[in-house]
Copies of this chain bind each other. A is one copy, B any other.
């Protein structure tokens, strides 16, 4: 029996992340989610840039993101990434939470596919998923 692992990164909020409402701009959370996924896919030992050179690109097929509370300048947020059971070697589903200490800021479900150099579907290499 394997225990599903989770990835966890810390994101600090700077001016670039905020907007004139004084809070983190809603599109920027997708950047933090992507940073979290990049670290997790690289945790098997091959960084994402190397995967790209080998002809494997991780592409987002669908995101559902819910905004629960605003974050602000200076906040330190945790991005937690876990694989959702199911999926296949062609499609991977992740749950990604953004938290500030114990408070939920945003929660997302992200469906991913793997593409080759011509942006055609291909199987995820098992090593890329080893960290999940």
Binding site for B on A (CB under 8 A): 12, 14-16, 18-23, 25-28, 30-31, 34-35, 38, 42, 47-50, 52, 57, 59-67, 70, 72-74, 119
**B30 adjacent to A26 (CB under 8 Å):** yes
**Cβ contact of A15, chosen from B16, B25, B50, B63, cutoff 8 A:** B25
B residues less than 8 Å from A23 (CB atoms): 20, 119
Enumerate chain B residues within 8 angstroms of A65, measured Cβ to Cβ: 62-63
Given A16-B31, A19-B16, A20-B20: A61 and B52 interface contact (C-beta under 8 Å)? no
Residues of chain B within 8 A (CB-CB) of A52 are 20-21, 73
Residues of B within 8 A of A34 (CB): 14-16, 26-27
- Given the complex of chains A and B, what is the CA–CA distance between A34 and B65 in angstroms? 15
Contacts of A38 in B (CB 8 A): 14-15
Residues of B within 8 A of A22 (CB): 20
Q: Which of B27, B49, B59, B70 is close to A73, meaning CB atoms less than 8 Å apart?
A: B49
- Sample of 12 A–B contacts (CB below 8 Å): A15-B19, A20-B49, A20-B72, A21-B52, A21-B57, A26-B60, A27-B34, A49-B73, A52-B73, A62-B64, A62-B67, A63-B65
